[in-house]
Amino acid sequence: MQPYHKTQGVILKTRKYSESSKLLTVYTREFGRVNALAKGARKLKSRFGSSLEVFTESKFLLYKQPMAGLYVVSQSQILSPHEGLYSGSGKFAAASVMADFLYTHTVQGEKHEELYQFFRGSLKALELSGSTQNVLLSFMLKYLSIAGYRPNLKACASCGKPDRSASKSYRVSAKHGGILCEACSRKEGDSVVISGPSLKALCCLQENGYQVVAGLKLESCLGDEIRKVINNFLEYNYEYSLKSLKVMEEMVK
20 versus 167: smaller Cβ distance to Zn ion? 167
138 versus 158: smaller Cβ distance to Zn ion? 158
Instruction: DSSP letter for 194, please.
Output: E
129 versus 191: smaller Cβ distance to Zn ion? 191
184 versus 218: smaller Cβ distance to Zn ion? 184
Q: How far is the CB of 183 from Zn ion (least distance, A)?
A: 6
Pairing of strands 169-173, 4-16: unpaired
Residue 140, helix vs strand vs coil:
helix
Q: Are 3 and 13 in contact (CB under 8 A)?
A: no
**Phi, psi of 153, deg, nearest 5:** -110, 10
Q: How far is the CB of 39 from Zn ion (least distance, A)?
A: 59
Q: How far is the CB of 156 from Zn ion (least distance, A)?
A: 3
- E-strand ranges in 91-168 read none
Element (H, E) at 246: helix 244-252
Residue 220, helix vs strand vs coil:
helix
For binding to Zn ion (CB under 5 A), which residues are involved?
Answer: 156, 158-159, 161, 181, 184
